[in-house]
């Protein structure tokens, strides 16, 4: 099905053109006209794929989420649950340019939520998916004996999800914090084998 | 010094008028004219205190930070280090309307960073102050024997700061997560008495 592949590649190219505009000049400059120019397409051709600016922005955000999700799902093949958890969670930290760009795009588009409801819905869906990922990874770690049985899975999911999001934001502010972020993640997973709940 | 107090109260009233505009209609609607109307002041009088929009925005952000810092510093009188840490850290979570408003203002103004450099500087200063607060609270907990000696203070500071910021953001999205956030914070402090570094 070469036509489907071409179609998909073309949409991704358009999505990346939106990313570049957002990162270089701000969401405010995104329009069918500026994106067509950035993607080197004629306006009518772009409009055929994305009739409105809202659809362009939503696709650009979805593309960022899909790229991260694809990398995470590839780690599902790692058999050791601890290594699998670390690999998956590191995809949520801005440890290289690819992940940093995706996160900057996500944050910039999320800030448009009040004007574009669809973006808030997409951000909520991604948020919930990350929560679910945390819960699944913790379940696997517990089944492998790497989480103390007295630990409450729901509470640990809350904490892990918040920790990863907080570490990601801090590493975004300061790329010098990338190593500290991965270390904090490792420490957190180490600590799961011990105490709470109830003071130790 | 009643004149100084009046002066200060007047500035706070203006700052709160900026907050209301930001939360109700977005940062884009803030101008000397709209703020004067919101604060029920004549334009010339407002301009006397805040000659530019940039100064208004910076003051509004600083006011949010100062309110939180004032509440946190009042908890310094709590003698028990664990209760002191919990009280201080909870000031950084949106657990009531007051804290929620401050955080929404902070986030909305932070998003203006690219247009107003001063806001980024203020946000960075607040970020560093929270990091320092975490370090100080952890030092006190360690001195009271509530942090295992093998735990590394710098790494624990990274983790606690990220966890608190992540929990705050999640509770902002969904006020139903407030209780889960305070519980996750308690669990995190409990766990400090045990393991890492090195797998347990």
Whether residue B196 lies inside any domain: the answer is no
Q: How many helices (H) and strands (E) does chain A have?
A: 9, 0
Instruction: Give the domain range for residue B79.
Output: 2-191
Interval B159-175 mean pLDDT: 97
Q: What percent of chain A has pLDDT over 70?
A: 94
Alpha carbons A137 and B11: distance in angstroms, whole number:
50
CA distance B95 to chain A (A): 16
What is the 3-state secondary structure of chain B? CHHHHHHHHHHHHHHHHHHHHHHHHCHHHCCHHHHHHHHCCCHHHHHHHCCCHHHHHHHHHHHHHHHHHHHHHHHHHCCCHHHHHHHHHHCCCCCCHHHHHHHHHHHHHHCCCCCCHHHHHHHHHHHHHHHHHHHHHHHHHHHCCCCCCCCCHHHHHHHHHHHHHHHHHHHHHCHHHHHHHHHHHHHHHHHCCCCCCCCC
**Whether B130 contacts chain A with CB within 8 A:** no
Whether residue A199 lies inside any domain: the answer is no
Whether residue B45 lies inside any domain: the answer is yes
Interval B79-84 mean pLDDT: 96
Are the Cβ atoms of B184 and A196 closer than 8 angstroms?
Answer: no
**Mean of the per-residue pLDDT values of chain A:** 92
What pLDDT, on the 0 to 100 scale, is given for residue A88? 98
What pLDDT, on the 0 to 100 scale, is given for residue B196? 66
Alpha-carbon distances, residue B29 vs A68, A116, B22, B89 (angstroms): 35, 18, 7, 33
**Whether B180 contacts chain A with CB within 8 A:** yes
Whether residue B99 lies inside any domain: the answer is yes
**Whether B183 contacts chain A with CB within 8 A:** yes
Whether residue B16 lies inside any domain: the answer is yes
Q: Which residue of A has its CA nearest to B159?
A: A184
| Closest by Cβ to B187, choosing from A159, A166, A193 | A159
Q: What pTM was computed for the model?
A: 0.91
Whether residue A179 lies inside any domain: the answer is yes
By the 8 A CB rule, do B103 and B168 touch?
yes
| B172 pLDDT more than 70 | yes
Segment holding A117, helix H or strand E: helix A117-143
3-class state of residue A78 by DSSP: coil
What pLDDT, on the 0 to 100 scale, is given for residue B111? 83
CA distance B50 to chain A (A): 27
**How many structural domains does chain B have?**
1
**Mean of the per-residue pLDDT values of chain B:** 92
Q: What is the pLDDT of residues B11-65, one digit of tens each?
A: 999 999 999 999 998 888 999 999 999 999 999 999 999 999 999 999 999 999 9
Whether residue A144 lies inside any domain: the answer is yes
Contacts of B159 in chain A (CB under 8 A): 163, 184, 187-188
What pLDDT, on the 0 to 100 scale, is given for residue A198? 58
The CATH number of the domain where B145 resides is what?
1.10.357.10
Q: What is the pLDDT of residues A53-80, one digit of tens each?
A: 999 999 999 999 999 999 999 999 999 9
Alpha carbons B13 and A190: distance in angstroms, whole number:
49
**Whether B124 contacts chain A with CB within 8 A:** yes
Residues in A 68-97 with any Cβ partner in B closer than 8 A: none
3-class state of residue A179 by DSSP: helix
CA distance A155 to chain B (A): 6
Alpha-carbon distances, residue B166 vs A20, A26, A141, A160 (angstroms): 27, 25, 22, 9
Contacts of A195 in chain B (CB under 8 A): 190-191, 193-194
Alpha carbons A119 and A110: distance in angstroms, whole number:
6
Bigger pLDDT: A134 vs A111:
A134
Whether residue A151 lies inside any domain: the answer is yes
What pLDDT, on the 0 to 100 scale, is given for residue B114? 77
| B142 pLDDT more than 80 | yes
Q: Closest Cα to residue B89, out of B72, B108, B64?
A: B72
Are the Cβ atoms of A161 and B177 closer than 8 angstroms?
Answer: no
Are the Cβ atoms of B184 and A159 closer than 8 angstroms?
Answer: yes
């Amino acid at each position: 099905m070469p036509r489907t592949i071409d179609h998909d590649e073309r949409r991704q190219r358009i999505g990346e053109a939106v990313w570049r505009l957002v990162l270089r000049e701000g969401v405010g400059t995104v329009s069918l006209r500026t994106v067509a120019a950035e993607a080197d397409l004629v306006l009518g051709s772009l409009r055929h794929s994305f009739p409105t600016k809202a659809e362009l922005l939503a696709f650009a955000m979805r593309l960022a989420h899909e790229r991260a999700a694809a990398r995470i799902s590839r780690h599902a093949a790692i058999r050791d649950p601890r290594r699998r958890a670390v690999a998956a969670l590191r995809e949520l930290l801005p440890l290289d340019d690819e992940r940093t760009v995706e996160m900057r795009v996500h944050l910039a588009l999320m800030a448009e939520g009040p004007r574009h409801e669809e973006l808030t819905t997409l951000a909520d869906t991604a948020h919930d998916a990350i929560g679910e990922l945390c819960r699944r990874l913790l379940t696997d770690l517990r089944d492998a004996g790497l989480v103390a049985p007295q630990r409450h899975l729901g509470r640990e999911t809350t904490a892990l999800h918040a920790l990863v999001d907080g570490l990601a934001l801090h590493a975004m502010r300061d790329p010098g914090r990338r190593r500290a972020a991965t270390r904090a993640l490792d420490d957190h997973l180490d600590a799961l084998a011990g105490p709470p709940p109830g003071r130790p």
